[in-house]
A and B are shown apart, each in its own frame.
Chain A
């Protein structure tokens, strides 16, 4: 059974800082891993998806990596801005048709 953990639950950083959000998963036979952003009271917005055959994906200031052997994924945010303040969730699948298992998320606050 896949379990996904995100620590810490909350993070506060000053604007402009580069930061890394961590995600751990228990089943190394992960099929893909997806990072989402959620603003308060809203739905989730997909940020990046990494297939098991890939090591990283990039989109603008965001870079996500996947290390199956260590059971870890990281989301790197460069030059953070107050608009990046949100909850970031990672979720993994163990097979093409399996369900998506979510971590509880990291609530990020970027201070001006």
Chain B
């Protein structure tokens, strides 16, 4: 079974630009969550999508948005990039149902975003 894939793996942008990151979950998984990881703040939750609906949202500005398609693939968009947006962006997928080991989250390798 293929794991979670993220594209692109590396990205360099300049301030003010916008960027779209993509995440393909494990086949059969309906939940996709996005996280931002920085050395100072650690892993911070951005949002979670389940069956094309945003189910949870973290404390990030509106410049950060996402969506999920009918095949469960998800995209994350950051508009008007700032230097502080430089981070490793991770997505994780799970079955998304309540209880049991179906709740285990599986992470992709991440997209390293550098904002200059």
Query: Inside 8 A of B45's CB, which chain A residues have their CB?
Result: 99-102
Q: Using an 8 Å CB-CB cutoff, how does the interface string of B48-81 with A read, 1 for contact, 0 for none?
A: 1010000110100000000000000000000000
B42 close to A51 (CB less than 8 A): no
Instruction: For the complex formed, measure the closest distance between the CB of B69 and the CB atoms of chain A, giving whole angstroms.
Output: 20
Query: Inside 8 A of B106's CB, which chain A residues have their CB?
Result: 46
Query: Inside 8 A of A93's CB, which chain B residues have their CB?
Result: 103
A-B contact count (CB 8 A): 57
A100 to B37 Cα, complex, angstroms: 14
Residues on A lying within 8 angstroms of B by beta carbon are 32, 34, 36, 41-46, 49, 51, 89, 91, 93, 96-105
B90 close to A43 (CB less than 8 A): yes
B98 close to A97 (CB less than 8 A): yes
Of A45, A96, A102, A105, the contact of B103 (CB 8 Å cutoff): A96
